[in-house]
Every structure is written in structure tokens, then in C-alpha cells.
Amino acid sequence: MADLLLDIVNYWITEGLATADGTDIFRDILPDLPDNCIAVVEYPGDVPFITNLTNRSVQVRVRNTDYPTAKSKIVALYDSVYNPETDVRIIDFTAGRWGIVKPRNYPYLLKKDESERFIFVLNMGIITAGDS
């Protein structure tokens, strides 16, 4: 099994929401370029609670020079992990990684950066097995 962020990135590439790791979607960084991209960043979560299961915390950032495009992209990412009937969604990110995903907020505008690019964010909790 790979690491969680890589599995999320690959899931969104497979879903057609990103093109390639390191091209328009990045793990743990939001680089200065390209202007229009996605960052998937892990931040502190909870300690393991059942054998190898953990409750991980992941923030998704979408940056774009165009406000409507940035907003529609983050909403599409949100829709891909949210089930309005149950508030959580069980996702098979890869053949070896499942996750119970619960968005912690509806996507919102974080800021307009110094380069006039819009940054939207989404925070989510993911219960999954640990990385190997």
C-alpha cells in the first residue's frame, strides 16, 4: 500500500478531476507554479484507535486565476467524497486502500493570494488503515 495522499491523488486522477501527480495535483505542497492546481495536504489527526486504523486529517486546496473555475473544481472534489444521504462515503481509493471519508466543511474561499489567484479549501477526516 502506498501513502494516503498518493492514493487520494491517484483516485482523483482516475475520476478525471486531475491530470497527473506533480503536474496539476500535488502532495503536501502548494507550489508557486502552476497557477491553477490542487494540493492535498495532511495535518495532525487522531492517534490509532483500532489496531491499524487511524482517523487522518486532510486539507484540499484548489488554486486558480479564475474564481468560478476554482470554486467549481473544489466543489467537484467535494462531491466526489461526500454522500448527502449518510454524511460520509466509503471510497476504495485504490485496490489496497479504502477510506471512510467525512468532509468537515463545505468548500470555502480561503483567500486571494499576492498573485491574484483564488484559493479554496476543503477539510476532511478519513478513517483508513495506516500506511505501510
**pLDDT, tens only, 88-113:** 899 999 888 999 999 999 999 999 99
The residue to which cell 484548489 is assigned: 62
Q: Per residue in 51-80, pLDDT tens?
A: 678 889 999 999 999 999 999 999 999 999
Position 132, amino acid: S
Cell numbers of 72, please? Answer: 467549481
Cell numbers for 73, please give them: 473544481
CA distance linking residue 116 with residue 120, whole number of Å: 13
Which helix (H) or strand (E) segment holds residue 31: the answer is: none
* Type and span of the H or E element at 90: strand 89-94
What CATH number corresponds to the domain at position 22?
3.30.2000.10
Residue with grid cell 478525471, as numbered in its chain: 16
Global confidence as pTM = 0.92
How many separate domains does the chain show?
1
Nearest to 8 by CA among 120, 66, 89: 89
Q: What is the mean pLDDT of the chain?
A: 92
The parent domain of residue 44 ranges over 4-129
Write down the pLDDT at residue 84: 86
Is residue 1's pLDDT more than 60?
A: no
Q: Do 49 and 123 touch, CB atoms closer than 8 A?
A: no
